[in-house]
Amino acid sequence: MLASLSIRDVVLIDRLDLDLGPGLAVLTGETGAGKSILLDALGLALGARGDSGLVRAGAAQASVTAVFEVAEDHPALTMLAEQEIPAALPLILRRTVTPDGRSRAWVNDRAVGVGLLRQLGEVLVEIHGQHDQHGLLDPRTHREVLDQFGGHEALKAEVARRFREMQAADTARDRAEAEAEAVRREEDHLRTSLADLDKLKPQPGEEEDLVHRRQRLQNADRMVAALNAALDALNGEPTLEVRLLDADRALQRLPDAETDERVRQLRAGLERASIEIGEGVAGVERLLADLDLGEDSLEVVEDRLYALRAAARRHQVTTEDLPELARKLRARLELIDGGGTVAAKLTAAAAEARRVYREVAEDLSRARKAAADDLIKAIAVELGPLRMGRVEIAVAFDPLPEDAWGPEGIERCQFMVRTNPGAPAGPLARVASGGELSRLMLALKVVLARTASAGTLVFDEVDSGIGGAVADAVGERLQRLGGHAQVLVVTHNPQVAARGDLHLRVAKRVEGETTLTEVRALTAAERREEVARMLSGAELTAEARAAADRLMSLAVRS
């Protein structure tokens, strides 16, 4: 919803701040008062072309700021997230234009391109005028509108999922076929390389193990010599244990050997030393026994290490990658050695994925055609009171070629209109006249109100060229539409103006030699006077005021 609109120095508007709310807002005023300027300013904030002619004479720049209140899941916030722009609420769109035509745009105080501003504008506001070629007048939106009306979200999601599966299956098949062809071109090289690796039989972690074994073998002689020397020193004749035993026996011969505490401590120390020496001998013997040098010689280990590294260089990989390389080569050769089995399976899988996609896409097509029938009937109900009972709406379905199938289905959908019996049906924008088009858009939006994507709808003189009961029917539908979305309408019809929840009057004022346009929200009493003016012209009469009272009371009751 458009919460506020601030305009500075746009054509005849020097300064304007409007606060808007939900429901139906009507803009009235004399012809030439500047109602179109207000819409041009809003269009500028929504990414329309920045014309230097919009800048008020003598001003440094024109500036428009539009503030929108939207739900946290609104598509506009998704767009901002994709551009890494903070999606703070409310959403503030700002645009400036200088007299030399230069334009700048901001969203939430972040400078952006006008293209992004235009994309945001398309999901925030729909403007329906006699020359607007967007919204429902853009055939690219018709399929989405039909799906929203029919409630096809789950079916559309299934079609999109099946389309992605079909793409993945086609890609897998095409990749396998391309790989098989590449294998055939380099088959001799692949087979030679695989034979080389199969003969070598590289193992994961083998290089590290060989390096460690080579290091041990290179140090083997020194390690054995050192351990044997240690044993010789410990086991020399007489052994250290024998010497310690002789020392203990000598101490036993001392007087009072059994009672002298010092002698006992010496003998205990000799006993501990004997035990430690025994453990030391046993430890050295264990080290010597555990010195597993394997059956391979240093020459064998180095030859194996050289062979692995040479193979890695030939294939431009690491030695650790050689086993995986052999697996990949074998898998590639299986593409042709398997007699086409892999390719045949992938081709069958791709065909099945295409069959399933087409099946669910045809389900969606049937659902769309059923929804189109219901939509046409609902629109026909609305067209009668709008003096368009002879207008016929249709939905054209054009099948797409297979190479144009997509996640949204297998056909294009376009709304068509026949304004006169016997005349050919054609696209909305080409067949209907300005007034017919505006009322046709109104009927469509009333029917589609509950599924509208934009929270704000603008109708520029939707009631052009009509009056009486038809104008009242237009007003009633605009009021009804205002119950589902924010609606802004420029009108010259009192029947429409009387139904507004908010009434804005556009008028000119002259200050010295300067003409300015002002917009003001009317009070209840002022609304009565404005509706009466629209009924009677410049001279207000009691009858006009009474008629205005009747129109406004009818609007409240409905």
DSSP assignments along 155-181, one per residue: HHHHHHHHHHHHHHHHHHHHHHHHHHH
Q: Are strands 110-112 and 103-107 parallel, antiparallel or unpaired?
A: antiparallel
In percent, the amount of the chain with pLDDT more than 90 equals: 30
pLDDT higher than threshold 60 for residue 558: no
**pLDDT confidence of 69, banded at 50, 70, 90?**
very high
Read off the pLDDT of each residue in 178-201 and give the average, rounded to a whole number. 82
The answer to the question of residue 275 being in a domain is yes
**Burial call 194-227: b when 16+ CB within 10 Å, e when fewer:** beebeebebeeebbeebeebbebbeeeeeeeeeb
The pLDDT of residue 434 is 63
Distance of CA 377 to the CA centre of its chain: 36
The pLDDT of residue 472 is 84
Q: Output the CA–CA distances (angstroms, integers) from residue 376 to 8, 380, 383, 386, 480, in the order listed.
A: 44, 6, 10, 15, 19
Read off the pLDDT of each residue in 397-417 and give the average, rounded to a whole number. 93
Q: Output the CA–CA distances (angstroms, integers) from residue 480 to 113, 318, 473, 503, 531, in the order listed.
A: 36, 74, 11, 16, 20
The answer to the question of residue 216 being in a domain is yes
Six token digits for residue 306: 């050289």
C-alpha 279/C-alpha 276 separation (Å) is 5
The pLDDT of residue 265 is 86
The answer to the question of residue 316 being in a domain is yes
The answer to the question of residue 453 being in a domain is no
| Residue 277 domain boundaries | 188-337
Closest CA to 192 of 329, 310, 312: 329
C-alpha 69/C-alpha 1 separation (Å) is 5
pLDDT higher than threshold 90 for residue 545: no
**pLDDT confidence of 133, banded at 50, 70, 90?**
very low
The number of distinct structural domains making up the chain is: 1
Give the three-class secondary structure for 49: coil
Higher pLDDT, 176 or 167: 167
Do 489 and 478 form a contact (C-beta atoms < 8 A)? yes
The answer to the question of residue 476 being in a domain is no
**pLDDT confidence of 35, banded at 50, 70, 90?**
confident
Closest CA to 125 of 450, 397, 452: 452
The answer to the question of residue 287 being in a domain is yes
The answer to the question of residue 390 being in a domain is no
**pLDDT confidence of 429, banded at 50, 70, 90?**
low
